[in-house]
Amino acid sequence: MTTKKPTEPEVQAMIASDPDTPEWANEELARAKPFAEVFPALAEKARRAGRPKSS
């Protein structure tokens, strides 16, 4: 079964219908910080965990 890709107008309608998640403005993107800078402890945990060692 193939899934039809939504057209651009359909995508824009879906975006407009969800006011809780607006698109980011350029100013907001410029202020965004890296995950590791905002949550250093979580980032360190994720770095340490990594992939499991093979046996």
Reduced to 3 states (helix: H, G, I; strand: E, B; else coil), residue 33 is coil
Work out the number of other CB atoms within 10 angstroms of the CB of residue 39: 13
Quick: pLDDT tens for 20-43.
Answer: 888 889 999 999 999 999 999 999
Strands (E), 1-55: none
- Does 55 have pLDDT greater than 70? no
The pTM is what? 0.47
How far is residue 17's CA from residue 11's CA, in Å, rounded to a whole number?
Answer: 10
